[in-house]
Amino acid sequence: MNTRSFAQRRMLSGLVTLAAAALLGGCAIYTPSGLSDMSAVDICELEYMQRPNLSPAGKQAIQSELQRRNDNCGNHAAEVRERFEAFMWRETYGKHDSPS
């Protein structure tokens, strides 16, 4: 007979799922062709939101694309900040209105 309770098994399962999600969360690969399809604001938002998770290759791909466009994220800081504030509002308050 298994001596672990249902709650212990469920907690362990949740921890394993969380660890796997954390590991896979930083594995996104940003290619030049994928970035070239994005607007400069989208690229800067991506860099801002994913900064801690970006690999050195991902950071380099973003910087290379911005250099190719002769642009930088400083030019889009206000819009990126507005998008981030809207995102945080939705995450904090917006889900209470939505049944999903």
Name the pLDDT band for 23 (thresholds 50, 70, 90). Answer: very low
Name the pLDDT band for 85 (thresholds 50, 70, 90). Answer: very high
Give pLDDT tens digits for 29-65.
677 788 999 999 999 999 999 999 998 999 999 999 9
- DSSP string across 8-59: HHHHHHHHHHHHHHHHHHT-----HHHHHTS-HHHHHHHHHHHGGG--HHHH
pLDDT at residue 32, rounded to an integer = 77
Range 8-28 average pLDDT: 55
Range 14-37 average pLDDT: 63
pLDDT at residue 31, rounded to an integer = 77
Using CA atoms of 90, 92, 98, 100 in order, give the dihedral in degrees to the nearest 10.
Answer: 100
- Calculate the average pLDDT of the chain: 80
